Amino acid sequence: MEGLNRYDRATVALWSRSHAELVRRSGRGCLAEAAVHAVLAGLRRCPEPAALFASYEADAAADFALIGSLLPGEPESEPFWRVRDAAFYLRWLELAGRKG
């Protein structure tokens, strides 16, 4: 996380907590994991951290629609945000050259 400003470090920490929470709550099982990886597949078009942060700040409606196609619940609900944030964290790890 070297070279990141405080806001971006806090954002990565939020993503990390969401990912950890999803791992702890494996009760959502394979559908939650599939939703994370579906969002992650789209995030792979972000070739660098700056593009990833810009994508996070952009409209999340498409991500929530994708998540909603796999999980029950309301778009923009807490579980949907956790899935989205977890996907961003996994992409962050890929860009940083780390394993999740």
pLDDT at site 47: 97
CB 17 within 8 A of CB 78: no
pLDDT at 21: 93
Q: Where are the domains of the chain?
A: 6-96
Tell me the pLDDT of the chain (100 aa) as tens digits: 678 999 999 999 999 999 999 988 765 589 999 999 999 999 999 999 999 999 999 989 999 999 999 999 988 899 999 999 999 999 999 999 976 5
User: What pLDDT score does 75 carry?
Assistant: 84
What amino acid is encoded at 25 in this protein?
R
